[in-house]
Amino acid sequence: MLNRLVGKAAGGFTLPEVMLAMGMSSLIMLAVAQWLPLLRAQTQESASLIRLEQLLGQTLFGIEKDIRRAGFCAGRCQGNALTLEVGAAKQVSCLSVAYDVNRNGRWETEVQLEPEFFSYRLRDGALEVQTGGPRCQGNRWEKLLDPGEVTIARFEVTKETSGTTPRYRVLLEGYWSARPTRRRQVDSLVAGRNHAG
């Protein structure tokens, strides 16, 4: 087999060509090695902000759902279906909605399996919800999000006056508690379907 190759010219790279190719590929690998950690950090930061925005969006969706349901009654319910309590800073400090969950024709404030009053408020960087309590009163408040993980900086509900159907602009702004400089905000315009005004 070796005898067949003798006398024929063998092709290939010379030593300087191989050394040059290895040097260039090493430089490219070093450049990529420096660039990849930056790309990874930016990707993780973007994913973290997207996750925060999704978390705020899911929370906002639950509030929107209650605003849309506010005012539903299978009979003659007494009182306001949606109330906005204004605090000292002339901002809405508490949103309370009522709807007839069990379809018995009234909004009940007693403790029951299916509560008919839902209240939301911002307190000490945490968005809290109370179910079943009369309006924004009571002591059964629960945090919707873990304040050790997410801090809510702003919770605003404003009533839009134009149009025949009452509409409410709901805004929620928050950040990861470990990184307060990276904030995200979600907002929505919600129509009160059951004439909750």
Query: CA-CA distance, 70 to 64, in Å (whole number)?
Result: 10
CA distances for 189 relative to 138, 145, 158, angstroms: 28, 22, 9
Q: What is the pLDDT of residues 9-24, one digit of tens each?
A: 667 888 888 889 899 9
The pTM of this model reads 0.76
Residues 6+ apart with CB under 8 A from 128: 120, 121, 122, 141, 142, 143, 144
Q: What is the pLDDT of residues 161-176, one digit of tens each?
A: 777 778 899 999 999 9
Query: CA-CA distance, 172 to 160, in Å (whole number)?
Result: 17
Q: What is the pLDDT of residues 151-160, one digit of tens each?
A: 999 999 988 8
